Amino acid sequence: MKTWMITGCSSGLGRSLAYAVLRKGYQAVVTARNTDTLADFEKEFPQTALILPLDVTDPAAVSQAVEAAERFGSIDVLVNNAGYGYRAAVEEGEKEDTDRLFATNFWGPVSLMKAVLPGMRRMRSGAIVNISSIAALGTSPGSGYYAASKCALEGLSEGLLREISPLGIKVMVVEPGAFRTDFAGRSLTQSETCIRDYEMTAGKRRIGKDMTHGTQPGDPDKGASLIMEAVEAEHTPFRLLLGSDAVRFADEVLEERRKEYNDWRRFSKQSDFKSCYEISGIYHF
């Protein structure tokens, strides 16, 4: 029986995914900072759900949670879902806020990946799913720091994929669009600093002006089912877009990037010591 470990299960996509996994008959390590929100899992799935408190920013807590999960034998799938949003113009961002953001959205997932990888390497199987965002594809004003945390997670994930796929371990990054969760509600924070010159850019997206909460098109239950299906597919994608809005946005971003690359292609090639046609080999960075 497969065992999934999922962070951030108090609400939203994490909660829906935990339910989907358990209803399929799998075992699940269901975590959140406040386990009071998880009592229903223990009541409905007493044999297959393990409820654990977990603050992903605490390395000791991460190690303890992974050790406790050994009650089920092994962790087959890790889902790094815990995270939150932060709104601020780049100049408005406060160090304490941004350090906490990266501790949760980036370093927390890193700690968990490093904690479960020894077991997955021994089994020569497993999957790591990192919940990212379409903000990693294209960043809106006011979301620079949040997008940077997700870009960092995606970059690390791609390097990890190339390191562990030969060992039989999958890596998938999920890029959701707008889902009807608490992301734009209680999970959204912002800088206390507010600079008037950004009123027409980042200022338009400050919390008091964001009316999207409760109107997002994405259904968390459907999203959870698709994540499960993709993880269990023979050829799991590295990047999985979720939501029709995510697909439209990705198409627009890719088209815009391709146009810019092509417009500057001849110019870009002029930086080589020799013509690019004289150089053989491919360089990886």
Residues recognised as catalytic: 132, 146, 150
> How far is CA 193 from each of CA 18, 147, 176, rounded to the nearest angstrom?
37, 19, 28
- Give the Cα separation of 280 and 22 in Å (integer): 52
161 touches 277 (CB < 8 A): no
- Written as six digits, the tokens of 259 are 């146009």
Give the integer Cα–Cα distance in Å for 224 and 54: 21
What's the token pair of residue 177?
């669009």
For residue 112, what are its two tokens? 């968990």
Residues 6+ apart with CB under 8 A from 260: none
- Distance separating alpha carbons of residues 131 and 238, to the nearest angstrom: 12
DSSP 232-244: HSTT--SEEEESH
Instruction: Specify the 3-state DSSP secondary structure of 167.
Output: helix
| Distance from chain centroid for Cα 223 | 13
